[in-house]
Chain A
């Protein structure tokens, strides 16, 4: 059974940092793109970033470029999102999902809440 479990969310002050993790199981992690998607309270979904199966390339939405870094450890079946210089508008539930071919997000985790507030 495919499982994606996010962790690391919490309350952080503006300008602070946080590192999210996603533990994957039930599939060959190293064969899939991995993706972070976020959803601000009461708002729609926003694609944040993805990373190639071998970790050789990443892509980001403009609003997080230079502040967020997506990475993965295929030996640990884990995906990460390092978030620096956090802003109030980064407050959201962050979901981990996977992609393959032109399917960008078949299985999803339950998400982890990040709150940026003073």
Chain B
């Protein structure tokens, strides 16, 4: 069974920079996994931030960026704002089975 792993929680100070990562149990994450990133706040539906590794949606704040880093997908938030406190999920595509798999989520705490 394929497992996608994220940090359970990260803490960052307002104005700081933080990088969340997303790893695959099958090996290194490459562009062929087409990573997507989502933000979810309590009681709300998820909101899409990044698709296809590094592409932003029209509503994605400039401080969010996506990349590949050391065999993982990565979401970097530069100049963190208090409103960025939320759960963040990555989503990877597995072309061997034509399915997508979410990571377990990272709770970002802004303190």
Contact surface of A with B, Cβ cutoff 8 Å: 37, 44-47, 50, 59-62, 95, 101-111
Contact = CB atoms under 8 A, between A and B. Distances in A.
A103 B91 CA distance: 10
Interface in B44-102: 45-48, 51-52, 55, 57, 87, 89, 91, 93, 97-102
Contacts of B48: 103, 105-108
Given A103-B36, A108-B47, A60 B99 contact: yes
Nearest to B47: A108
Interface of B: 1, 34, 36, 38, 40, 45-48, 51-52, 55, 57, 87, 89, 91, 93, 97-105
A103 B89 contact: no
Contact of B52 (A59, A102, A109): A102
A50 B97 CA distance: 12
The majority secondary structure among interface residues of chain B is: strand
B45 A111 contact: yes
A104 B93 contact: yes
Nearest to B48: A106
Given A47-B102, A102-B52, A108 B46 contact: yes
A109 B45 CA distance: 7
A69 B104 CA distance: 25
B30 to A, nearest CB: 13
A44 B104 contact: yes
Contacts of B100: 47, 50, 104
Contact of A45 (B34, B38, B99): B38
Contacts of A44: 87, 89, 102-105
Nearest to B50: A103
A27 to B, nearest CB: 14
Contacts of A62: 1
Contacts of A60: 99
Given A45-B38, A110-B45, A105 B91 contact: yes
